[in-house]
Structure 1
Amino acid sequence: MGVRYLLMTLVFYGGLLLLFGSTAFMGAHASMSYYFDHPQSNHFYPKYLKVVSRKKSTPPPPAPIRNVRRQPFLPIPPMPKPRLQPPPPPPPSSWLKSSALP
């Protein structure tokens, strides 16, 4: 009987913890999301935060010209298009017969 009582107590209090723990978590989550969705007003901003005006930046000086002689630009000549040539005619059969293999 003691094991049954212990098991029933565990189930009962576990259920209560699950029920109220989940609602507490949901409540905390809701309050946090409300806080992040509606941030506090920044009515202290103009009073305490002084914006320092920055001096307008001047454009950077031009890059120095190096003392390198450049080659004149020569355009690459276009490649000639290969023309399809007909295959050479087969040699006469008499020439084939005369050339004997060693």
Structure 2
Amino acid sequence: MFIAALDHDEAPYRWGAAEALGRMRDERAVEPLIKRLHDDDWRVRLKAAWSLGQIGDPRALPHLRRLMKDRSEAVADMAGEAVRGIQTRMLRKRKED
């Protein structure tokens, strides 16, 4: 339901769905959220970046790194936070292994 809402015509539905998916930390949402990093609405890009950071899947890293140059400072900052969070989790996992 939330993954389908990422393609809704109205931006508030898309960013709301992106936020919900991040709270659920559903790895099935990674690819659809990556697509939303290119949304016209900065709020959707921001929530997609936040959600990818919450999910923590390394597949998102190259996309988030590109987003760190977004025209919206808030989006660029969130992308940076998401990258740092994913990298931190990766390092912790390596130490545990």
* TM range, smaller chain: under 0.3
Higher relative contact order (CA 8 A, sep 6+): 2
The alignment's TM-score, normalised by the length of structure 2, stands at 0.25
User: Counting helix residues as a fraction of each chain, which structure ranks higher?
Assistant: 2
